[in-house]
Amino acid sequence: MVQSSVLGYPRIGENREWKKALEAFWAGKLQESELQHKLQAIRLSHLSKLQKKGIDIIPVNDFSYYDHVLDTAVMLGIVPSRFSYEGHGPVPLTTYYAMARGSREAPACEMTKWFNTNYHYIVPELDGSSPVLTENKPLSAYREAKEQLGIEGRPVILGPLTFLKLSKGYSLSDTDEWLERLIPLYGQILQELEAEGVQWVQMDEPILVTKLEPVDLLRLRSSYDYLTKQAPVIRIMLQTYFESVDYYDELVTLPVQGIGLDFVHGLKDNLNSIKTKGFPENKVLGAGIIDGRSIWRAPLDDKTAILDELGKSVSADRLLLQSSCSLLHVPVSLRQENQLPAVLRNNLAFADEKLDELVLLTKAVAQGESVVAKTVEDVRQAAQSLKASEERSRGDVHLAIAAIREQPLERSRPFAERYAVQQAKWQLPMFPTTTIGSFPQSQEVRRARQLWRRKEWNGEQYTGFIRSQIDKWIGLQEEIGLDVLVHGEFERTDMVEFFGEKLAGFAFTQNGWVQSYGSRCVKPPIIYGDAAYIGEMTVKETSYAQSRTRRPVKGMLTGPVTILNWSFVREDIPREAVACQLAYALRQEVEALERAGIGMIQVDEPALREGLPLKEAYHAEYLSWAVRAFRAATCTVQDTTQIHTHMCYCEFHDMIDSIKQMDADVISIETSRSHGELIRSFEQETYELGIGLGVYDIHSPRIPQPGEMIAMIERALRVLDPKLFWINPDCGLKTRGIEETAASLRNMVEAAKAIREKYARLTHTL
């Protein structure tokens, strides 16, 4: 009989209990035993919910104390030597968190995006590690679920090929050697699970939806040949997600008992593979039918039609209906969202509602489509009401977008000519210093915002407070010696939410939180109508800041592609069309800032890279419209107006050309957390525009010393033009403390002065 499952459930709790517990522990307000007790309670409540909802196969070991990739690394003893782990027994929680967040003694491990999502994982560092099984985490999770709740769970394990491919610190020539060191540990994990009586394990191998070399497929086969020999009784569900698999023939012949495929984002190709090539009669198909990344209700009639097609090749007793990926990427529940417009709320489904959809679809397959008939009609009527709403009928926006599509979207002069007039205007020193935009959001700042939102403060009181913070930090920036200042963004919560609240076409949840990295949770806006400019968004605060100093103050905006990629987006029109609407709205704000006398404007695009499709065949199309959206927002300014942008925590080596095509006068890119590896991209390709490579990691509590920043700068200057080089942190400083922020920036300015003096001596010598 057909069954239901999910690939994972959100960790954070319906009211972010998980986040609060972690941060209390980090602040020294919770003992480790108290943290363990709180997290266990959250974990068990999640399992109990899945059980009560009627999910047949419940995942265990999908819960994490920070990140599931980091969990795998510490389980396998992959702990960099700088964290002083002795290699015996479980890795201490203090070491675990030091790897994730850094410590005063050691910088954190690199953090980057999990495939094409807004979730960040901690990159394992293999160099110098000696793999050893420190503890069998999946076994502990299985025992807990069975003993506490009577659940026969399916342990979730990050597969060996994916783990290795996502790791760093080894050469490609050593891949086989590393796999040979890791695979026996996986074998030991499975043997112990088998001895415990575990029936199924979910082995996640999302790397299989990306481009692989033929040798990787051989490695995949040899790995699973070994694992099935070590644990011949336990059944493996080899799970893929986020896209279709290009190696279907090789995948279905692996010695595993189940194959999980994505029938949402990989629908066309995965379905075609099964229809044309069939599916093995000795395997279970995990059909990812409910979108684990979308907040929109599933059109169940479309889903049953897909399942009918699958039913021609796979019998019901070999069919497992699943989410397309972990529900980690969506908010927990709609239950508290009673302030959304009804026309929108009726179209939404968060994690808990997706559980209901899975259970209902499972019944439909078993009992017939009449089971879902009423829900199908409800979904259809809700969608029709939204389509007919005035939020999706802004004729002025549609006309403007049509006009933009016909425009060349170019600045009036090329960069070299703009650079000359900008230098003449600004008279900046060599290696100018600046920050990325935000300054610490203290408790005082957050409390003021709450008082204002609760209407306990009027607008005049709140504006006065914000101006006092701007005054304080303008003065501090001048005292530290920064060359280009920012107003600090004290009036902003999230960099996307702030702009969404000031544009038409957006809606906001009360509790729609999603984990981004560690305890950092975001509440993505919902773009459900036509995005439209309805008035100035940043001019007041930026103009005030500029009035308090003679040094240039940057206007700070979030770019169109980042707003798109960090929001839940309507699905009735292409994403490109939504990006174009956002670009047009932001263009109007850029022009308003320029009219107000703001001559440096930063349009941040940290999420541009994460929207890149996983399939290379779609890269060019995406990058083309993403670059056009940025240029549409920024191309109408005067030559003397300097356009900045910022990107962080992504792999950029394969899109340097597109970054150039954005034609920003200055780009700042994170490089400190990846220990300068991005610099290699510029060692291979010339970059002729202004650039700042972040010289210290703002997510670590340690204060970087000038010497280490100087070393980073000097390496970059081997391949980048000193005349075009800026010095800045690698990201905004919103989450840092005031004292550490000031100390770090002082050290950064000291490093800049040292570099200036060195180059002045060299110039004098020449």
Q: How far apart are CA 666 and CA 655, in angstroms?
A: 16
The band of 686, judged by pLDDT with boundaries at 50, 70 and 90, is confident
Q: What are phi and psi of 653, to 5 degrees?
A: -60, -25
pLDDT score, position 601: 98
How far apart CA 233 and CA 198 sit, in angstroms, is 9
457 annotated to a ligand binding site: no
Dist. CA 8–CA 214, nearest whole Å? 30
Average pLDDT in the 673-683 region? 61
pLDDT band, residue 677 (cuts 50/70/90): low
State the pTM of this model.
0.91
Contacts of 724 (CB under 8 A, 6+ apart): 419, 688, 689, 690, 691
Closest to 184 (Cα-Cα) out of 230, 252, 136: 230
Cβ atoms of residues 320 and 284 within 8 Å:
yes
Average pLDDT over residues 528-545: 97
Closest CA to 638 of 608, 601, 604: 601
- pLDDT, tens digit, for every residue of 317-345? 999 999 999 999 999 999 999 999 999 99
Domains of the chain: which residue ranges?
396-765
Q: Judge whether 243 is annotated as a binding position.
A: no
Alpha-helix residue ranges (DSSP H) falling in 54-125:
68-75, 93-101
| Structure tokens belonging to residue 278 | 């069939």
- Ligand-binding annotation for 646, yes or no, is yes
pLDDT in tens, 552-568: 999 999 999 999 999 99
Establish whether 521 is an annotated binding residue.
yes
Q: Give the long-range contacts of residues 452-460, CB within 8 A, separation 24 or more.
A: none
* Closest to 666 measured CA to CA, from 685, 642, 682: 642
Helix (H), strand (E) at residue 288: strand 284-290
CA distance 545 to 473: 9
Which token pair is 25? 């522990």
SS3 of residue 299 by DSSP: coil
Mean pLDDT of the chain: 94
Residue-wise pLDDT tens digits, 714-753: 988 888 899 999 999 988 888 888 999 999 999 999 999 9
Amino acid at 83: F
Query: Is the model's pLDDT at 649 over the cut of 60?
Result: no
Helix (H, G, I), strand (E, B) or coil at 531: strand
To the nearest 10 degrees (0 to 180), the angle between helices 351-367 and 32-53 is 30
Find out whether 691 and 667 touch, Cβ atoms under 8 Å.
yes
Residue that the structure tokens 């090789």 belong to: 250
In the set 46, 68, 265, 699, the catalytic residue is: 699
pLDDT of residue 49: 98
536-562 mean pLDDT: 97
Q: Which fold has domain 396-765?
A: TIM Barrel (3.20.20)
* Tokens standing for residue 376: 């199908």
325 is in an annotated binding site: no
Q: What is the 3-state secondary structure (H, E, C) of 105-137?
A: CCCCCCEEECCCCCCEEECCECCCCCCCCCCCH
Question: Is 665 labelled a binding residue?
Answer: no
Examine the residue annotation and report whether 265 is marked as an active-site residue of this protein: no
The amino acid at residue 176 is D
Read off the tokens for 304. Answer: 């049953």
User: Is 631 assigned to a binding site?
Assistant: no
Tokens for 82? 């700088």
Q: Select from 512, 486, 477 the least CA-distant residue to 749.
A: 477
Q: How many CB atoms lie within 10 A of CB 175?
A: 17
Residue 559 and residue 567: Cα distance in Å, rounded?
A: 12
Separation between Cα atoms, residue 185 and residue 191, nearest integer Å = 10
Give how far the C-alpha of residue 95 lies from the chain's centroid of Cα atoms, to the nearest Å.
Answer: 24
